[in-house]
Amino acid sequence: MSSPASPTIVVGAGIIGLSAAWHLAGLGQRVLLLDSGPAAGGTTTAGAGFVGQWAAGYAWYWNESERDIEQYGIDFYRQLAESGNGPTGYRQNGNVWLTVTEQGRADHLPPFEEHPLRPAGARSLTPDEAAAIVPGLDPSAVTAGFLHPDGIQVSAPDTARALVASVRARGVEIREHTPGAALESRDGSVTGVRTVGGDVISADRVVLAAGSWTNALLAPSGRELPTVRVVASRLVTQPFGLPDTLPTLMLPELHGLWIREHRGGLTYGAGPGYEALHVGGSDRRTEPDRRPVRPDLLDAMRTYLHPIVAKLLPAASSVLGVDETPTQGVVSMTADRNFIVGPVPELVGLVVAGGDNESGVTHGPGLGRIAAELSATGATTLGDASRYDPARFAAAAPSEAEVVRMMPARREADARRAGAVA
C-alpha cells in the first residue's frame, strides 16, 4: 500500500470515480478526488437510474463476472440508501422486458428464459400477467414479457449526492472545479497530476476515471482506450398520477426502448435519441461538452416514441409532448462492449477505469471497487479482472468509426443473424 503521506489521486467524480474513492478510503488510503466541474456533474447526473442483472439474458456478451458486479451495485445502493447520507430514490421495482410482436417474442425472450444465470423468481409473463404487475399497461399492446424481480431503481443525481457525502465522511478530500491538465511521470511511473491552474499534486498512485474525457489525459502516456463516445438522451414527462411501483420496462425490439416512473410521470428513451459524436464530424481530440444539448435527437425520439408509449400506457397520452424535460449525456462504448479497468502498462502506478458502456450507474460501484483494489493491492476480490484489462487492446486505439465496426451486435438475435453465435 502507498504511504499515508502520499495520497492516491482519483481524477473524475462521476459514479465510477466516487466509488473508487470510497473503496480506496475503505482500504486505508488517503484519497484526493478531483473534478473539473462539480462532483457528479458529468454523465452520471443524466443517468436514468435503473439497475439490474443485465448479464442474465439482456447483454449476451457478458457473463458471471459482470453479473457479480451488477449484484454488487444492487447491494451497494441498498446500503447507501440506508446509510443516512441523503435520499437516493432507491426502490426494488423489478425489471420487465416486453415484446410487441410474435417475432420479437421469439427473438428476445428465450435468452432470458434459458439463461444459466437466471435470477431467483425470474419468470415469463403472458400479456395479462404483465398487465397485473405493470400499472396502466394495455395487455393488447404486448405479446409477452419476462420479469426479473430483483431489479432496482435509484435517482442517479440523488444517489451521486449521497455518495459524495459518504465519500467525504470517509475522509476523502474532494476538489471540485479543479481540472486535471496532465499526468506527471518520471522514468515510466506516474508521479502526480498537474492541474489546469499549474499546480502539481504529487502522488505515486492515480486512478483515472474521467468518463468520456478519459482519453484526453491518458493519450500522452502512449495508450488510448478504444471507445466511441455517444450522446444518449431521455425525456421526462409531467406527472400524471403514475404509481411509483411501475417496474422498469424494456423493449429490446423497439430500438432498446426503456421506460420508468419519475415523480408521478415517466422518463423514457430509445435508439433515435442516440448518436455517436464522430457522426457529426468530431474526433477523439475534440472534448465533448459535459452536458450536451442536441434538440434534433430529442425530436427524433419524440416522433418515434410518442405513439409507441401511448399505445403501451394509454394514460400517458395526456402528457406526452407537453413540457417534457430533456436530459442528455455522453457515454463511452468500447470495442468489445466490456469495461476497461486496470493498470496502464505504459505508466506504473496508473489505473484507468473507463468505457462505461452506458451502464455505469449499474456497474459503477463494482468497477470503482475493482479500480480501488487494483490500485491499492494489485488484485481484486470482485469479478474477473482479466476481462477488463486495458492491455487486452492495442495501445493505439482505432478511430471511433472503426470502434463501431468492431463492436459485437447489441442484441443476441442480431448476432445470431450475423452468425456471431451458434
Residue 273 C-beta: closest distance to ligand FAD, Å: 8
Which residues, at least 6 apart from 98, have a Cβ–Cβ distance to it below 8 Å? 130, 137, 142, 144, 145, 249, 250, 251, 312
Q: Is residue 215 at the binding interface for ligand FAD, with CB under 6 A as the rule?
A: no
DSSP 112-133: HHT-TTPPTT-EEE-HHHHHHH
Q: How large is the greatest C-alpha to C-alpha distance in the chain, in angstroms?
A: 67
Q: Is residue 35 at the binding interface for ligand FAD, with CB under 6 A as the rule?
A: yes
Q: Is residue 43 at the binding interface for ligand FAD, with CB under 6 A as the rule?
A: yes
CA distance 324 to 285: 33
Q: Is residue 41 at the binding interface for ligand FAD, with CB under 6 A as the rule?
A: yes
Q: Which of 362, 343, 307, 356 is nearest to 153 (CA)?
A: 362
Beta bridge partners of 32: 9, 173
> What character string, x for contact with ligand FAD (CB under 6 A) and - otherwise, covers 284-323?
------x---------------------------------
Q: Is-contact 190 51, C-beta < 8 A? A: no
Backbone angles phi, psi at 387, to 5 degrees: -70, -20
Residue 352 C-beta: closest distance to ligand FAD, Å: 11
Q: How far is CA 406 from the centre of its chain?
A: 20
Dihedral angle of Cα 31, 210, 328, 226, to the nearest 10 degrees: -150
**Sole binder of ligand FAD in the list 7, 47, 145, 343 (CB under 6 A):** 47
Residue 34 C-beta: closest distance to ligand FAD, Å: 5
Q: Which parts of 265-284 interact with ligand FAD (CB under 6 A)?
A: 269
Q: Which is nearer to ligand FAD, 105 or 337 (CB)?
A: 337
Q: Which is nearer to ligand FAD, 149 or 179 (CB)?
A: 179
| Sign of CA pseudo-dihedral 155, 245, 124, 72 | positive
Residue 355 C-beta: closest distance to ligand FAD, Å: 8
Q: Which is nearer to ligand FAD, 29 or 155 (CB)?
A: 155
Residue 205 C-beta: closest distance to ligand FAD, Å: 16
**Sole binder of ligand FAD in the list 7, 10, 31, 44 (CB under 6 A):** 44
Q: Is residue 361 at the binding interface for ligand FAD, with CB under 6 A as the rule?
A: yes
Residues near ligand FAD (CB under 6 A) are 11-17, 34-37, 41-44, 46-51, 179-180, 209-211, 213, 217, 232-234, 269, 290, 327, 329, 331, 356, 358-362, 364
